Amino acid sequence: MAITPPPERVWWNIPIARTEITWIVIAFAWGLLMFSAMIYWHIEGEQNLSNESYRTTPAAFSEKANAMVEQYQVREEAGMPVVHPPPGSDVYMIARLWQWWPILEFEKDQTYRLHLSSMDWQHGFSLQPVNINLQVHPNYDMVVTLTPNESGEFGVVCNEFCGIGHHNMIGKIYVTE
């Protein structure tokens, strides 16, 4: 039994039953396949993280974000600037207690270099209803090159707990035709 010492003194020489060894081989092969799938997706798949990120500071990052807003603001909404940056450009979104700033407006099927960083605690960038989720740290500038492939109005919800106002930290991204 499993609660008594093995009855055979030399238990490690007992051959393994065929059913068990077959399952071990299948399970091992499945593991290799799942491992390869992640590498394959980096080559052929379209949804990967870039590994591009930089050290920054809240001051340096917000300076870049402010410059972008000054240059490309098109209107205001809920007291917040709405920015329509040119396709292909560097776009900045600030995460702070408790807002995503500013509101961004993208064009469908165009590519943008979205920079994310936090001014204070950790936050979670959760694009809804697309359901793309990224972790946002202070002092790290994460660059995600993304291509919206549908138009409409999208929510940016915070999904990393950031204190008492966490549930109110909602931002917005528009994608125009």
Partner 1 sequence: MSDFNHRVCPATGLRIHKSAENLIKANAVVAIVFLAVGGLFGLMVALTRWPGVHLLPADWFYLVLTGHGLDVLLVWIIFFEMAVLYFASAILLNSRLAGPRWGWAAFALMLVGAIMTNVAVLQGNSSVMFTSYVPMQAAPHFYLGLVLFAVGALIGCFVFFGTLVVAKQEKTYKGSIPLVTFGAMTAAIIAVFTIASGAIILVPTFLWSVGIIGNIDTLMYKTIWWAMGHSSQQINVAAHVSLWYLIAAVVLGSKPLSEKVSRMAFLMYILFLQLASAHHLLVEPGISSSWKIFNTSYAMYLAVLGSMIHGMSIPGAIESAQRARGFTNGLFEWLRKAPWGNPAFSGMFMSLVMFGFLGGITGVVLGTEQINLIMHNTLYVPGHFHATVVAGTTLTFMAATYLIVPLIFQRELIMKGLARWQPYLFGLGVMGISVFMMGAGTLGVPRRVWDITGADALIKYDYSGAAYLMMGLNGISAIMAALGGLLFVIIIVGSVLFGKRTGDKPLEGMTMTTAANYGSDEHPKIPGTVVLVAIFFTAFILYYFVNWKYLAEVWPLR
- The CA distance from 97 to 19, in Å, is 57
Closest distance of CB 146 from partner 1, Å: 4
In the bound complex, what is the minimum distance in angstroms from residue 65's beta carbon to partner 1?
16
Edge-to-edge strand list for the sheet holding 132-136: 73-77, 80-83, 103-107, 170-176, 152-158, 123-128, 132-136
Q: Which of residues 95-154 bind partner 1 (CB under 8 A)?
A: 99, 103, 116, 120-122, 124, 126-135, 137-142, 144-150
Is residue 162 part of the contact set for partner 1 (CB under 8 A)? yes
Interacting span for partner 1 (CB under 8 A) from 29-37, 62-70, 82-90: 29-37
Tokens of 136: 């946002």
Residue 120's contacts (CB-CB under 8 Å, 6 or more residues apart) are 58, 96, 97, 138, 162
Task: State which of positions 32-91 bind partner 1 (CB under 8 A).
Answer: 32, 34-35, 37-39, 41-42, 45-51, 53, 78-80
Nearer to partner 1, 68 or 158 (CB): 158
